Each structure stands twice: as C-alpha cells, then as structure tokens.
C-alpha cells in the first residue's frame, strides 16, 4: 500500500477544489452540467437562427423585419427614455456615482452591442421560433375570437408577454445553466438605466416564451408598434439608479426601488425576490414580492465577484466585456465554485 507523502500538496480537480476520496466521473459530469446546458441553449439558438434566416430570405422580408425591430427596441422613443432616466439619475440618485463611471461606460458598450449585433440576431431567432411553432405546435394558435375588441386582445397579449418574461426570468435564476448566462446582468455593482442592456446575447434566447401570447392570439389582433415601444420603455425604468417607489402605483408596477432589491448583493441570487419586469402581481402570486418601504438603497452585485467586473482589476472596459461574454462557455467557472 502506498502512503501519501504529507509534505506534498494534494492534487486538485479541474474546478480547483481538493478532490473528495472516491470521487467518480459522475460527479465530474454533474459539475460540468451547467456547461452542457449553455451549449444546448447555444445550439438551439443557432438552429432557430438558421430556420429564421431561411424563412426571412425566402419571403424577401429580412430588411423590413430588421428595420421594424430596430424601431421597436432601440428607436428614438426608447433612447429618449434612457437619456431622460440617465439625467434623472444625476439629479436624484439612489447612490451618487460619476456620469462617466466605468460601470456606465461598460453598460453603454452593452447598449451599443445590443443595437448593432443582438437586435439583428434576435429578429432571426424569433422568426425561427415562430416558424417552428407554426410547424410543430399549430394547436397552440387560436382562431379569431368573436366579439372580442382588438384593444382587449392587445392588453391580454401585453400582460401575457410580461407573464412569460417573468417565467423565463425565474428560470434564469433557478437553472444552473441559465444562471451562467444571466449572472452577467447581476454582476453590476453600480446600477443605472444602462444596466438594462447588460446582458449576455445568448440570454435573449431564453426569453422566447414571451412571443407565445402574440403567436397564440395573433389571429385576433396584433400588437401595435406603439405598444411594443411603451413596454420597452417601461422595462428600462426598474434598473434606474433612483430611489423612486412610485407610491401606490409601485404596488402594481415595478419601481426602481423594488427592482433594486432583486439585485441586492447580500441575497442568494438563486432564490432572490422581485423577478417582475413591469407588473408586480406575478411576484405576489408566489410570495416573493419584497416591497422597498423606506429602507436605504442596498448594495448591488454578486457576493465574491464570481463574474469579472469592471470595478476590480485592469484590462479596460473592452477586456472586461470579453471576459464576461466568454465565461459561460468555460467548462468550470467561479459561479459553480460558489454554489
């Protein structure tokens, strides 16, 4: 029998931990399972992208679809809303920060990335999702509903979109694979309205469920462009560096103070509170709505900094963004170390 030399350091496994005696390949596979999940999401997004691109090209509608999506998601109305909220942050900040703080510069970079690269890819992937629903789940699509005003259909679709965004958001926290993608958004320690766009491009594929209400009720009415723009503007409000609770309205609509609790660094990010995008009711239904009350602004970010952040170390904004975007594709990450 060979006796280990106590003067020699113990070997460590691929995660950097000292291996437990009798560790099996199954444990290593379990440790790497979030990585496989990320690859599965990427593969599904690529497949839907191919389907969507072929469909748009065949219909000679690629350019039109891109222009419509740009108008709805990064058009003048949304940019004006972002600028207005950014100026409000200078006047009534929850936590005072310089306008050109590194956090703001990095998040502005994510906004540019979203506008230039993510929106075109999102159009193609969303089209592919709609095509696959039509091919394989046509039973989900309802015929035109009689005697139902179109305005009522639009309201139901918008509420349904918000509900599906909430479901996907909860899944992003509960699933280790999806959390790898979503953790980037929670890494921001200096939140601002620009933090809305601090997302991994691949995470948008996890929110495709939000298309279902429009697909299901599409025969009865379509969402006007103005409704989509208004919803997009409301989604940017919760991330603003403001102490606004919105008073009684904050019991119905997500306020910056309400959503800031969702980003609190002292909370367990896998079981946090306040998942709502625009409406608070979904959180209230499952008892995870925490009202801000009169408490002071909480610190935001991830405890232990398992995601590379601009507030620590060098490399410049570009290097930080590259490290953040690459991390989910690493076989083992600090996110698993902390679990």
Q: Is the dihedral of CA 239, 242, 247, 249 positive or negative?
A: negative
In 3-state terms, what secondary structure has residue 76? helix
Q: Residue written as tokens 């309201």?
A: 155
In 3-state terms, what secondary structure has residue 165? helix
Tokens of 142: 């309802």
Quick check: pTM over 0.85? Answer: yes
What is the DSSP secondary-structure string of 16-32? SSPPPTT--HHHHHHHH
Bridge partners of residue 279, in order along the sequence: 253
Q: How far apart are CA 27 and CA 235, in angstroms?
A: 40
Please give the C-alpha separations between residue 187 and each of 106, 122, 158, 167, 303, in angstroms, as whole numbers: 12, 23, 29, 21, 9
Please give the C-alpha separations between residue 97 and each of 19, 60, 103, 109, 284, in angstroms, as whole numbers: 44, 47, 9, 18, 32
DSSP state of 7: T
Q: Are 82 and 193 in contact (CB under 8 A)?
A: yes
pLDDT at 77: 93
Q: How far apart are CA 339 and CA 304, in angstroms?
A: 11
Rg over CA atoms, the chain: 22
Of residues 258, 12, 61, 281, the one with CA closest to residue 165: 281
How close are the terminal C-alpha atoms of the chain, in Å? 36
Q: How far apart are CA 186 and CA 182, in angstroms?
A: 7
Cα 335 versus chain centre, distance: 17
Q: Are 56 and 127 in contact (CB under 8 A)?
A: yes
Tokens of 294: 């009169």
Of residues 215, 221, 212, the one with CA closest to residue 152: 221
pLDDT at 9: 40
pLDDT at 222: 87
Question: What is the full per-residue pLDDT of the chain (339 aa) written as tens digits?
Answer: 334 343 344 344 444 445 555 556 655 666 679 999 999 999 999 999 999 999 999 999 999 999 999 988 889 999 999 999 999 999 999 999 999 999 999 999 999 999 999 999 999 999 999 999 999 999 999 999 988 899 999 999 999 999 999 999 999 999 999 999 999 999 999 999 999 999 999 999 999 999 999 999 999 988 899 999 999 999 999 999 999 999 999 999 999 999 999 999 987 776 789 999 999 999 999 999 999 988 899 999 999 999 999 987 667 888 999 999 999 999 989 988 655
């Amino acid at each position: 029998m060979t006796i280990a030399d106590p003067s020699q350091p113990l070997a460590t496994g691929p995660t950097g931990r000292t291996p437990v005696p009798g560790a099996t390949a199954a444990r290593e596979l379990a440790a790497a399972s979030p990585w496989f999940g990320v690859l599965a999401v990427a593969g599904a997004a690529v497949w839907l992208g191919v389907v969507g691109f072929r469909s748009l090209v065949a219909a000679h509608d690629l350019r039109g679809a891109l222009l419509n999506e740009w108008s709805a998601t990064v058009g003048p109305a949304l940019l004006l809303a972002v600028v207005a909220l950014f100026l409000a942050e200078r006047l009534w900040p929850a936590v005072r920060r310089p306008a050109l703080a590194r956090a703001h510069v990095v998040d502005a970079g994510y906004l540019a990335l979203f506008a230039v690269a993510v929106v075109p890819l999102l159009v193609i992937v969303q089209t592919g999702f709609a095509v696959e629903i039509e091919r394989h789940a046509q039973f989900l699509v309802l015929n035109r509903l009689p005697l139902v005003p179109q305005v009522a259909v639009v309201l139901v679709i918008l509420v349904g979109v918000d509900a599906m965004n909430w479901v996907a958001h909860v899944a992003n926290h509960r699933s280790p694979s999806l959390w790898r993608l979503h953790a980037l958004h929670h890494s921001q320690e200096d939140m601002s309205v620009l933090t809305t766009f601090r997302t991994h491009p691949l995470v948008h594929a996890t929110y495709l469920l939000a298309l279902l209400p429009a697909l299901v009720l599409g025969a009865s009415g379509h969402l006007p462009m103005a409704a989509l723009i208004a919803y997009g503007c409301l989604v940017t409000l919760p991330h603003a560096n403001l102490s606004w609770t919105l008073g009684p309205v904050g019991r119905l609509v997500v306020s910056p103070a309400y959503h800031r609790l969702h980003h609190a660094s002292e909370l367990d990010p896998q079981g946090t509170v306040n998942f709502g995008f625009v409406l608070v009711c979904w959180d209230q239904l499952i008892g995870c709505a925490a009202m801000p009350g009169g408490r002071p602004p909480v610190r935001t970010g991830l405890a232990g900094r398992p995601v590379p952040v601009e507030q620590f170390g060098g490399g410049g904004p570009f290097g930080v963004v590259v490290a953040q975007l690459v991390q989910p594709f690493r076989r083992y990450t600090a996110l698993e170390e902390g679990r």
